[in-house]
Amino acid sequence: MAMQAIRIHQLGGPEVLQLEEIPTPTPGPGEVVVALRAAALNRRDILVRTRQEWAPQMPFVPGSDGAGVVAAVGAGVHHVREGDAVVICPSLWWGDDEERPSERFEILGGPSDGTYAQYVRIPAENVFAKPAHLSFAEAAAFPLAGLTAWRALITRARIRPGERLFIPGIGSGVATFLIQIARLAGAQVYGTSGSADKLQRAMALGLSGGALYTDPNWLEQIRQQAGGGVEVAVDSVGAATFDSCLQLLVPGGRLVTFGVTTGATTSLDIRLVYRRQLSILGTTMGSLKEFRGLLAVIHRGEVKPVIDSTFPLAAAAEAHRRMENHAQFGKIVLEIA
């Protein structure tokens, strides 16, 4: 049986995302096949499409986030059955060590075929019951971004009530989760954007204050709003904001970093780090245990996915262009028939 899928045969712009018919996968032992109803975009999808160091063996199906209905189960799978509505955790083979992933660790959607397709095959341990109050589009929108935000704040930064958090670029999907998780933890949140409209929408999510990064005085504006600085900064932007995040930290502050949207290379004055007793913490994705923690607050309605826009699967290239233009606030979702 054939299915429709978006595949990439060569690195390049959105035009390399090609809708094709390919064989429908079948599950092996310990695996399930999910009939996808929705898949969400992540910045990582652009990286695997454009950067050689990220690229899996060609051709491949991109996409890390998805939600749908279990279509088939392999031998030894008992916690889900055909017909169950599920959401996918894209953190594959993390292992038992909560501090770091195993050597087998990978993220769904490169090198393994991902969720820009009608069906996807994944380890059974990576599917969880879809929260009943969420649509398939909403369920597809939270796994990668939500898990990344959860580990960054709860596990790595160990954010505490009353602390202040800075997020550069508050329009991204992960930023919308960072805001909500931080507020749930009792923190105040400050951020930047290139859009006044996005700042207003972030305020509705719980942002305490913000500034336009197009203003040359934005750093001082944030510092004043936060009462002198912040205890925690979470940076997914990279080279353009890394130093500014450090500058905003009060003595003993923590910078958590996981993204390189504007570049992976930067420079810093090391004296700033040791004189202020600062900590720089790296993070990537998270474990299945952390995903369960995120899922619990999603189930309770304490954290909610923010949908920017939806596109049909065949319009994946158009969806990628919207993300590349930084036009979105929240998650862009592909709806799959």
Handedness of CA 145, 131, 301, 98 (dihedral sign): negative
Residue 105 CB neighbours (<10 A): 15
Question: Tell me, what's the pLDDT at 260?
Answer: 80
**Contact indicator for 257, 282 with CB cutoff of 8 Å:** yes
Return d(Cα 130, Cα 15) in angstroms, integer: 32
Lowest mean pLDDT among 243-247, 256-260, 313-317: 256-260
Question: What would the pLDDT profile of 126-150 be if each residue is shown by its tens digit?
Answer: 999 999 999 999 999 999 999 999 9
Residue 240 backbone phi and psi in degrees, to 5: -70, -20
Give the mean model confidence (pLDDT) for residues 72-86.
97
Residue 41 pLDDT greater than 70, yes or no: yes
For domain 2-142+305-335, is the CATH number 3.90.180.10?
Answer: yes
Question: Tell me, what's the pLDDT at 54?
Answer: 65
Give the mean model confidence (pLDDT) for residues 18-36.
98
Residue 168 pLDDT greater than 80, yes or no: yes
Return d(Cα 143, Cα 89) in angstroms, integer: 6
- Closest by alpha carbon to 93, among 142, 126, 69, 119? 126
Residue 170 pLDDT greater than 70, yes or no: yes
Residue 271 backbone phi and psi in degrees, to 5: -60, -35
Q: Which helix (H) or strand (E) is 174 found in, with range?
A: helix 173-184
Percent of the chain with pLDDT over 70: 99
Question: What would the pLDDT profile of 50-71 be if each residue is shown by its tens digit?
Answer: 986 666 789 999 999 999 999 9
User: Residue 259: pLDDT band by 50, 70, 90 thresholds?
Assistant: confident
> What tokens appear for 12 in the block?
């390049």
Q: Which residues contact 100 (CB under 8 A, 6 or more apart)?
A: none
**Angle, helices 143-150/173-184, rounded to nearest 10 degrees:** 40
Question: Tell me, what's the pLDDT at 206?
Answer: 96
Give the mean model confidence (pLDDT) for residues 188-217.
96
Question: What would the pLDDT profile of 290-308 be if each residue is shown by its tens digit?
Answer: 999 999 999 999 999 999 9
The residue extents of the domains of the chain are 2-142+305-335, 147-282
Three-state secondary structure of 230-272: EEEEEECCCCCCHHHHHHHEEEEEEEEECCCCCCCCCCCCHHH
> What tokens appear for 115 in the block?
């969720």
Residue 258 pLDDT greater than 80, yes or no: yes
For domain 147-282, is the CATH number 2.60.120.10?
Answer: no
Residue 114 pLDDT greater than 90, yes or no: yes
Residue 69 CB neighbours (<10 A): 15
Question: Tell me, what's the pLDDT at 120?
Answer: 99
Residues paired with residue 6 on neighbouring β-strands, in sequence order: 19
Measured in Å, how far apart are the chain's first and last C-alpha atoms? 16
